[in-house]
Structure 1
Amino acid sequence: MPAFAANLTMNYPELEFLERFDAAARDGFKGVEFLFPYAFDRQDLKARVAGNDLHVALFNAPPGNWEQGERGLAALPGREEEFQRTIGLALEYSQVLGNSRLHVMAGLRDHDIPYARQMETYLRNIEYSASQAKSLGLTIVLEAINTRNMPGYFVNYQEETKKVCDLIGADNVKIQFDLYHAQIMQGDLAVRLEALFESIGHIQAASVPDRHEPDEGEVNYPYLFALLDRAGYRGWIGCEYNPRASTSEGLGWLHPWRGVTAETP
């Protein structure tokens, strides 16, 4: 049965970030995910997680200077030492928070640099991340992001991400299959999920085109959730959406799966 993790970066925007853990637990979530925890003390976060009997499903490694428009460092030649430092920081948080997935963002395509050089840098950096994460039992996940929400992102298609996973060949490098991004860029979601299933390490969902609760729009989410259940997916599905009103009021769609915990890390 699908297990859903509240995305505390996007869900409960009416609350301060640390208060969102309490709200998610009250609403029946057993898992949470978020983009970047680094503005908060690790022990404060751990207390919120433990105090609400929550599991941290995933967060992102530091992306560079987000405010200046950077969207990851992994595919940026010349930033390798900085990248390695960010992975070190992310792993320090993982050791405390106990997440099993770490999303490493590629960054933007730089058209002044040959594509092949950026890809070579990306592969080396992801390989480094995987080697550093392995001793913690941590899986590195890679996400293809649509060109509407993040123009210029280095990886846009699920099959590109699968190719990177295959080229690296590490058992702890997987796809972060965001159904919202995939529908915008490619569609054919059921076929893609089945084709890539063995390489998927994390899933996220939101309505298309508006990125609200997964109970409206052009994607038949009950069908896809049932498909994932039949296929044996036992990980988390992150609720990376902007609620239409208050998050709690919009959780009618969650009722069949409220309180479910992922069976696999």
Structure 2
Amino acid sequence: MPRFAANLTMLFTEVPSLHRPELAAQAGFDGAEVLFPYDHPESEWEKALSGLPLALMNTPPGNWPAGDRGFAAVPGMEATFRDGFLRAASLASRLGAERLHVMAGVAKGPQAEQVYRENLLWATQQAPDLALTVEPINPDDMPGYFLNDFDQAARILEDLNTPQIGLQFDVWHAARIHGNATTVWATHRHRISHVQIAGFPSRNEPGGGGFDLPALCADLDASAANVWVAGEYRPSRATVHGLMWLQALKSRNRQIGD
């Protein structure tokens, strides 16, 4: 059965970041995502998580206000990417993060793809026990981002041919990129190792938009895959007042388990 994580970068923003894991646990989440856990010392995150599993974190993005979105595919920034990756891998190990999302960055063209491939392979060699993910991100939310298509990502992963790198499936990005998230799921399910959900077209609480979340959970049940399903969305009100989707999906899991 899938486990459910709260993206603590987007949820429970009513309180400071280090207070959010406690609220997530109280609300019934099984774990957490923290996109960029670099603004506080490791020891503070360890204390804040207090045993709550960390499902996913990202590699450092660089200077976000200046437009940086990671560096894995950016020619000329190989040293910056590799320094950041080693920092992220060390933190992921310390915090027990199950997956590390490798951010590609703003780039395009054959040279960017070659750099991306080389950096991904290098990353697997540096942290062979750490599961990595790559995530296609839609160009409206992140203009110029190198990895912006699920078919593109699948082609690169097929060529790299390493089970250490999985595909990160975000319902929101899949729908924005391809128009139909259900088709993307069906086509690329065998590569997907981490799931993020949100409502469509608003990116508020999960549900609607033609995507069947109970069917997704049933698919994960059938595959016996160790995949987290994370709520990564913009709450339309205080987070705790919009968790009916979590209650419904967890209730479904309990009924199956009985």
By the TM > 0.5 criterion, same fold? Answer: yes
CA distance in structure 1 between the partners assigned to 2:243 and 2:149 by the alignment = 30
- Amino acid corresponding to residue 190 of structure 2 in structure 1: E
- Match for residue 219 of structure 2? 227
5+ unaligned residues in a row in structure 2: which ranges?
A: 254-258
CA distance in structure 2 between the partners assigned to 1:180 and 1:225 by the alignment = 17
Which of residues 78, 84, 89 in structure 1 aligns to 2:87? 89
Question: How far is 1:55 from its partner?
Answer: 0.5
| TM-score normalised per structure 1 | 0.89
CA distance in structure 2 between the partners assigned to 1:205 and 1:187 by the alignment = 15
Question: How far is 1:215 from its partner?
Answer: 2.6
- Amino acid corresponding to residue 111 of structure 2 in structure 1: R
- Number of matched residues? 252
Which of residues 129, 144, 147 in structure 2 aligns to 1:155? 147
| Matched residue SS, 1:242 | coil
Contact 1:144 1:158 in 2 (8 A): yes
Question: How far is 1:218 from its partner?
Answer: 4.2
Alignment of 1:70-219 (within 5 A): 70-110=68-108, 115-134=109-128, 137-219=129-211
CA distance in structure 1 between the partners assigned to 2:197 and 2:225 by the alignment = 14
| C-alpha RMSD of matched pairs (Å) | 1.7
- Match for residue 256 of structure 1? 248
Q: Which has the higher contact order (CA 8 A, sep 6+)?
A: 1
| Matched residue SS, 1:145 | coil
CA distance in structure 2 between the partners assigned to 1:190 and 1:227 by the alignment = 12
C-alpha distance after superposition, 1:20-55 (max 9, x if no partner): 0110011011110011001111111111222xx310
5+ unaligned residues in a row in structure 1: which ranges?
A: 261-265
| Matched residue SS, 1:74 | coil
- Match for residue 18 of structure 1? 18
Call closer, same or farther: CA 1:221–1:151 in 2, change over 3 Å.
same
- Match for residue 263 of structure 1? none
| Matched residue SS, 2:134 | strand
- Amino acid corresponding to residue 24 of structure 2 in structure 1: A
| Matched residue SS, 2:182 | helix
CA distance in structure 2 between the partners assigned to 1:95 and 1:231 by the alignment = 27
| TM-score normalised per structure 2 | 0.92
Question: How far is 1:100 from its partner?
Answer: 1.6
CA distance in structure 2 between the partners assigned to 1:164 and 1:139 by the alignment = 17
Question: How far is 1:258 from its partner?
Answer: 4.1
- Amino acid corresponding to residue 125 of structure 2 in structure 1: S
- Match for residue 43 of structure 1? 43
CA distance in structure 2 between the partners assigned to 1:161 and 1:126 by the alignment = 12
Question: How far is 1:235 from its partner?
Answer: 1.2
CA distance in structure 2 between the partners assigned to 1:118 and 1:73 by the alignment = 10
